Amino acid sequence: MADTTYDPEEMMTVAAARALKNGDVCFVGIGLPSTAANLARLTQAPDVVLIYESGCIGAKPDILPLSIGDSELVETADMVVSVPEIFRYWLQGGKVSVGFLGAAQLDRFGNINTTVVGDYKAPKVRLPGAGGAPEIATNSREVFITLRQTPRTFVETPDFITSAGYLTGGDARAKLGVPGKGPTRVFSDLGILEPHPVTKELTMVSLHPGITADQARAATGWQLQISPNCGVTPAPTDAELQILRDMKSRAAQAHSRSNLLSS
Amino acid sequence: MADIIPLSSAIADLVHDGDIVAMEGFTHLIPHAAGHEIIRQGKKNLTLVRMTPDLIYDQLIGMGCARKLIFSWGGNPGVGSLHRFRDAIENAWPQALEIEEHSHADMACAYDAGAAGLPMAILRAHRGTDLPKFNPTIREIVCPFTGEILVAVPSLRPDVAVIHAQQSDRRGNVLIWGISGVQKEAVLAAKRAIVTVEEIVDSVAPRANSVILPHWTVSAVCHEPGGAFPSYALGYSTRGNDFYRKWDAIARDRESFASWMQRYVLDVKTFAEHRALLTRSAHG
């Protein structure tokens, strides 16, 4: 029987993890995407290849990394290449099937902002910026996005487009010659969204157990479309939750250990 | 030809006020000891270049060493904001900071082009994004063979590159293994290069995935064991994830940052003293 005591973030991570399959080559962003990608590797997709922008290809970390360059990634990777090489040969060269990204702000067409809140030249909040995301979003064959759904994250108009989704919707992305399919799935703590086949507007196609359509609408900064065929996401299984929790507790223990004396 | 000299001499001789300085190391091998020495020597008006500014540039920016920052991702990985970087951009504290912002892909290619002696790098990037509207160095170029619109960025040619490595031999041949980031490109693109190392050995023994920088590509080698902390050197240490988390509270406000820098950086003479002081306070 499924455990009913999971929290919304666990549901989000499990839903995202289920989307990766054996045969995928996944370029992994740090944080939620990295947790989901490793959960996939430890559950239904043991052969998924995880690539981190630090140059680690085929990383199989036992302890979730805090950064994209923890030694755990190097020591478990099939190979380690330089940063120019990871972006030029492996990403731009078309070897990546899924780019897995997080976001600070997301709009209805899957455009991502991780640069600023407010005006670029006089920002209210300066966010970290682009990193690898703009090219992961365009040079991967498709893109998955995972982030919490609130009116502050699912916004009508992002303050900045750091990474391209479907731009103004419809065929705008293809017309501009942006490579890659773009964001094909978004996993939030409330449900799963997919772009409408024609308008490319992100539409709720599955709600997580216990979440209502009204709750999802209230957490969205634009008028959210709910698919007429909208289903219910299967709850996390006991096995999924157990593996996820073990993985997170190993990481929490490792990351709070002071290594001043050991180094 | 590499001189094996103390870090304080290398910084005094090779880093000048107003220089373009690239201190690289992609999560791994970040040259923190050299960053502290630049702060202690009070270098000013630097143009700092680095893909991921990390704690090292948070400290240099917060201490007023930088006039301009060229970067592609300014956060504390897995933790959150770099508060001194944010305070400089949002509030011009302690002084205004000009920024030139890129993506990782274009900046990595710009270092590569610098090492290759080319004026620019070409890549498939930035389509549909807002960054080129605010950074005039990201421009379009048309492929003369296919007509495809690509991006060109000027190559990076720093006055001085500063990196940390695992080993050097007594002639200054440098050995790096593990995540090698853009250090080779940064050193070969720069006019001068300083390398701090964990260990000076009789002869370096290259391993798989290792990078060699021959002594004639390096200006100075400085023996600084543990000189990457809280970053790490594979084979010598692991990443100080606990310290990366603690930095968030230290750097969050100006006063706690200033007093931490005074106590742990300005009031010590070497990085070894800094490490010893940190260890005592963390366990005392």
Residue B86 in contact with partner chain A when CB distance is under 8 A: yes
The strand pairing partners of A42, in sequence order, are none
Q: Do B241 and A163 touch (CB under 8 A)?
A: no
Please state the rounded mean pLDDT for residues A110-120.
97
> Is residue B187 located within the same domain as residue B55?
yes
Residues B144 and B162 in one domain: no
N-term to C-term CA, chain B = 44
Residues in chain B closer than 8 A to A62 (CB atoms):
none
Neighbours of A228 (CB within 10 A): 6
SS3 label, residue A141 = coil
Domain of residue B215: give its range: 3-102+157-283
Contact B109 A88 (CB under 8 A): yes
**Same structural domain for residues B145 and B200?**
no
Residues of A with catalytic function = 53
Q: In CATH, what number is assigned to the domain containing residue B212?
A: 3.40.1080.10
Indicate if B37 and B162 belong to the same structural domain: yes
Task: Examine the domain organization and report whether B134 and B92 are in the same domain.
Answer: no
pLDDT of residue B236: 97
* Whole-number pLDDT of residue A262: 42
How many CB atoms within 10 Å of residue A222?
16
Q: Where are the domains of chain A?
A: 8-186+236-255
The pLDDT value recorded for residue A263 is: 38
Using the predicted structure, report yes or no on whether residue A258 has a pLDDT greater than 70: no
Q: Are residues B46 and B66 in the same domain?
A: yes
- Interface confidence, given as ipTM, is 0.95
- Of the three residues B119, B136, B154, the one that is the final residue of a domain is B154
- The nearest CA of chain B is from the CA of A242 a distance in Å of 23
Tell me the three state secondary structure of residue A87: helix
B87 and B190 together in one domain: yes
- Within an 8 Å CB–CB cutoff, is residue B2 touching chain A? no
Co-location of B201 and B144 in the same domain: no
Identify the CA nearest to A208 among candidates A149, A156, A260, A159: A149
Give dist(CA A56, CA B18) in Å, integer.
35
CB contact under 8 A, A176 and B128: yes
pLDDT at A180 over 50: yes
Predicted confidence band of residue A260 (pLDDT cuts 50, 70, 90): low
| Those residues with Cβ within 8 angstroms of residue B48's Cβ, 6 or more apart along the chain or in another chain | B21, B22, B23, B57, B60, B61, B65, B66, B68, B69, B70, B71
Whether residue A226 is predicted with pLDDT greater than 60 in this model: the reply is yes
Q: Which residue of A has its CA nearest to B74?
A: A128
Residues B26 and B148 in one domain: no
Number of domains in chain B: 2
Q: Does B112 touch chain A (CB under 8 A)?
A: yes
Give DSSP secondary structure letters for A164-192: -SSTTSTTHHHHTT--S--EEEEE-SSEE
Q: Which of A177, A184, A181, A138 is nearest to A161 (CA)?
A: A138
Q: B143 and B269 share a domain?
A: no
Do B257 and B149 share a structural domain? no
Burial of A147 (0-12, 13-18, 19+ CB in 10 A): buried
Q: How does residue A257 score in pLDDT terms, banded at 50, 70 and 90?
A: confident
Q: Would the pLDDT of A3 be above 60?
A: no
Select from B112, B128, B154 the last residue of a domain. Answer: B154
What is the per-residue pLDDT for B205?
Answer: 86
pLDDT at res. B267: 98
Tell me which of A83, A89, A111 to substitute to probe the interface with B (most B C-beta atoms closer than 10 Å).
A83
Which residues, given as ranges, of chain B have pLDDT below 50?
283-284
Contacts by B272-275 with C-beta closer than 8 Å and gap 24+?
B272/B224, B272/B225, B272/B226, B274/B36, B275/A260, B275/B226, B275/B229
pLDDT digits (tens, 9 = 90+) for B132-173: 999 999 999 999 999 999 999 999 999 999 999 999 999 999
Contact assignment for B105 to A91 by CB distance below 8 Å: yes
For domain A8-186+236-255, give the fold.
Glutaconate Coenzyme A-transferase (3.40.1080)
Q: Do A177 and B149 make contact, defined as CB atoms within 8 angstroms?
A: yes
pLDDT for A61-112, tens place per residue?
988 988 888 899 999 999 999 999 999 999 999 999 999 999 999 999 999 9
- Nearest C-alpha of chain A: how many angstroms from B129? 5
User: B78 and B55 in one domain?
Assistant: yes
pLDDT of residue B284: 39
B29-38 residues labelled b (16+ CB within 10 A) or e (exposed) = bbbbbbbbbb
Task: Tally the residues of chain B.
Answer: 284
pLDDT of B281: 87
